[in-house]
Amino acid sequence: MQEAVIDVSLNTKNVFSSALRFAMSIDTLKNSPELVHELKTSAQEQVEFMLSEDEEVRLLITEEEVKSVVRLGISNVISMLLDRLSSLLVILPECTEFSVLKTLYDIEWLCKVLPRMELMKDLVFKWTDVSSEILVIAQKCKLDSRILGVKVKLVEVTGKILEAVGYGIVIVPSKSRSCLLKIWLPFIRRLKTLVDAEGSESEYKMDEDLCEFIEGSMVSLVLTLPSNDQAEVFGEWMRGIGLEGVKFPDLSEAFEVWCYRSKSAKRRLLERCDRLAIVNLDH
């Protein structure tokens, strides 16, 4: 009886690990792209189902062997994104904007399942590490409607990362939080201006829901930063308003909190200095 239980558990582990490897493109078949995409989509659906319905899988995701598969998949998909973004610069025929978008959709899917596995932090740290490289490549790409779609999807994925950090789903050092916000804030602000300039007929939009989602995540994130880092972020934000007339994202709520805290801290400091001065006079 015990051996039968072990066999069932092992089978579940093998099925789940195999589904993960196909869902994250670690394992692929030498078939047509359409068939490979269909298999990957099915594997992703299988992973989601097993995470939500299978009690054994909820225990399996704590095992280091399963975590290693997921971490390998995260590294692979990030490397694939950088490679495919770079390929857009030289306009390789075999690598179009659609392949970049597919990779971004895969990362978006990871943002959906990784929190259930308590591994979202691995994607957040990886995304933070490569954010500068991603933006250097993205900004070098010739801007047309194709690339605009890629950049909008980049912002959507980054919004998921900002949400995870801003709302405390993933705890990262203050330096990483600050870098993440300072790197992406100017890019997101400029992209919003470009998208709006395309007009209502454009295929690609940063709709109201996306903008509110990003603003909420940024407000929460900036309030977690040290005061000096907050000041730098607000300086960049106000420059955007003053020089470019760009009001998005609206960080006024966080700015008001920072002003109140700064005034309170300054008042407490002055009160302490006054008390020390009185003590010194008494002596």
Six token digits for residue 267: 């008042």
Digit-coded pLDDT (tens) for 33-49: 677 788 888 999 988 98
Does the pLDDT at position 4 exceed 70?
no
pLDDT category of residue 160 using cuts at 50, 70 and 90 = very high
Distance CA 128, CA 176 (A): 7
216 CB-near residues (< 8 Å, 6+ apart): 163, 166
Nearest alpha carbon to residue 165 among 125, 105, 133, 208: 125
Does the pLDDT at position 122 exceed 90?
yes
If you average pLDDT over every residue of the chain, what do you get? 81
Q: Where is pLDDT greater, at 53 or 41? A: 41
Distance, first Cα to last Cα, the chain: 84
Q: Where is pLDDT greater, at 238 or 78? A: 78
Six token digits for residue 115: 């929190």
Structure confidence at residue 3 (pLDDT): 45
Model pTM? 0.83
Distance CA 82, CA 165 (A): 22
Digit-coded pLDDT (tens) for 209-256: 888 889 999 999 888 888 888 888 888 888 877 777 777 888 888 888
pLDDT category of residue 30 using cuts at 50, 70 and 90 = low
- Lowest-confidence pick of 152-156, 167-171, 204-208: 204-208
